[in-house]
């Protein structure tokens, strides 16, 4: 039990409390300086992988949907026209994206 005459919230001079307080402080510093950046990096990698997978699935699904739509409704019976129209659309999109790029600074 604590001494009733001692004022509240005074530091205890017990060596076990001081040792555990020091250990707690060391573990807090270790967590903040070592483990937290590793956890944040792991989260970044995981979220990037999930986002990349979603983008690949969505783009693939859109290309399949466009191909089926053109085959059934626009160019029924002429698959070559579908492939040519998709090739032209994707080539134009690639050219636009290529024109928007910025050169990387040369390393000195």
The predicted-structure confidence for 20-56, as pLDDT tens digits, reads as follows 999 999 999 999 999 999 999 999 999 999 999 999 9
CB 71 within 8 A of CB 79: yes
Does 30 reside within a domain?
yes
Does 4 reside within a domain?
no
Rounded to an integer, what is the distance from CA 30 to the centroid of its chain? 25
Question: Which residues lie below 8 Å from residue 58, measured CB to CB, with a gap of 6+?
Answer: none
Please give the structure tokens belonging to residue 41: 């990096």
User: How many distinct structural domains can be found in the chain?
Assistant: 1
Does 107 reside within a domain?
no
Could you list the residue range(s) of the whole structural domain that residue 66 is in?
15-99
Does 36 reside within a domain?
yes
User: In the prediction, which pLDDT does 108 show?
Assistant: 60
User: Would you say the pTM of this structure is higher than 0.75?
Assistant: no
Does 71 reside within a domain?
yes
CB 71 within 8 A of CB 83: no
């Amino acid at each position: 039990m604590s001494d009733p005459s001692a004022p509240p919230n005074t530091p205890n001079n017990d060596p076990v409390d001081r040792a555990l307080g020091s250990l707690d402080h060391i573990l807090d510093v270790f967590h903040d300086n070592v483990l937290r950046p590793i956890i944040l990096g792991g989260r970044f990698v995981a979220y990037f992988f999930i986002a990349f997978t979603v983008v690949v699935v969505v783009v693939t699904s859109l290309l399949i949907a466009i191909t089926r739509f053109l085959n059934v409704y626009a160019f029924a019976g002429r698959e070559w026209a579908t492939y040519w129209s998709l090739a032209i659309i994707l080539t134009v999109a690639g050219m636009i994206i290529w024109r928007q790029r910025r050169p990387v600074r040369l390393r000195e």
